[in-house]
Amino acid sequence: MVLLTTTLLSLAVAGYCAAGEIALSFDDAPMSGRGYLTGMERTRTLIAKLDSLDIEQVVFYCVTNRLDGHSGRARLELYAEAGHLLANHTHNHPDLDKVGAKRFGTNITRAHQELTSFTSRVDWFRYPYLHEGRTRPERDSVRELLAQHGYINGYVTVDNYDWYIDKAFQTALKDDRAVDFEKLKVAYVDILWSGILFYDSIAVRTLGCSPKHVLLLHENDVAALFIDALIARIRAEGWTIISPTEAYTDPIADELPDVLLNNQGRVAAIAKERGYEGSLWHESEDTDWLDRYLEKAGVFR
């Protein structure tokens, strides 16, 4: 089942066919291992698949209160030894919109301290939920803190609900529903690839070009199971997987949109600031939509 929105259809008719570049980033590492895979199994699977496909560098945005459980510290060491980067995703994953800038800043600092011992640590920060503040003073307070500590915003350009696909998968297992892994793989890849095209189309219409993209993923079981299939699809479509280090050299890394809508990623925020009137959310960023899609695809029985 292939997703093709009206926007993508119009682009196809117009002959739009840009060869893009995209980096892979994984949030919430090290995630617990109480599902289909243990934490260590997931880590070793991701490392092996990335290595087999010549992906030399991805970045894992780390939640540091998880380091002492589920072999968390050892798993991050394995990612580092494999050449991958570790970045700050706060200590316990608070929502800035709920806890306020002061508590949020303390959380950033705590995570920074916890990550200092890892050799592949980089001073990049990604906001949990991509929430950068409900008010300009709150938003700017955190931005100033990051700048004082030499951090860059580890933004994404392509948002998605991969976390909900994994949640649906884990729920099906707990409910003793049969899982068609082939259909789940196809759904996962189609949904994420459609999201890539969606946000790239917004970029082309507002920036006039396709930027060096950063794809949001999570360090979960569906990523470990299907990252190889996703990479194969991206490459088959003529795109190149680049390192996050290269991705963050794109000019949009220096562009801080003066908007409060940042939770769809940097491209959507820039589009909002520039007056883009189309949708800034891909259709799959909706849990009811995903439930219907997975059901129709026959993923769970």
pLDDT score for 2: 42
pLDDT score for 3: 47
What are 228's two structure tokens? 């190889």
Rounded-to-integer distance, Cα 179 and Cα 85, Å: 33
> Would you say residue 268 has pLDDT above 80?
yes
Q: Is residue 10 part of a domain?
A: no
Q: Is residue 162 part of a domain?
A: yes
pLDDT tier for residue 4 given thresholds of 50, 70 and 90: very low
Q: Is residue 78 part of a domain?
A: yes
For residues 30, 32, 37 and 41, what is the CA-based torsion angle, rounded to 10 degrees? 40
Closest by Cα among 218, 244, 287, 234 to 84: 244
Strands 152-153 and 121-125: parallel
What number of helices (H) and strands (E) belong to the chain? 12, 7
Q: What is the mean pLDDT of the chain?
A: 93
* pTM exceeds 0.85, yes or no: yes
> Would you say residue 96 has pLDDT above 90?
yes
pLDDT tier for residue 263 given thresholds of 50, 70 and 90: confident
Q: What is the average per-residue pLDDT within 110-120?
A: 96
Q: Is residue 13 part of a domain?
A: no
CATH number of the domain encompassing residue 223: 3.20.20.370
Please state, in angstroms and as integers, the Cα–Cα distance from residue 245 to each residue in 103, 153, 236, following that order.
29, 12, 23
Q: Which domain holds residue 44?
A: 19-296
> Would you say residue 196 has pLDDT above 50?
yes
pLDDT tier for residue 155 given thresholds of 50, 70 and 90: very high
pLDDT score for 8: 41
> Would you say residue 289 has pLDDT above 90?
yes
pLDDT score for 18: 47
pLDDT score for 19: 64
> Would you say residue 186 has pLDDT above 60?
yes
Q: What is the average per-residue pLDDT within 168-193?
A: 98
Q: Is residue 2 part of a domain?
A: no
> Would you say residue 209 has pLDDT above 70?
yes
Number of structural domains in the chain: 1
Q: Is residue 290 part of a domain?
A: yes
Q: Is residue 301 part of a domain?
A: no
Q: Is residue 135 part of a domain?
A: yes
Neighbours of 98 (CB within 10 A): 11
Rounded-to-integer distance, Cα 121 and Cα 59, Å: 10
pLDDT score for 25: 98
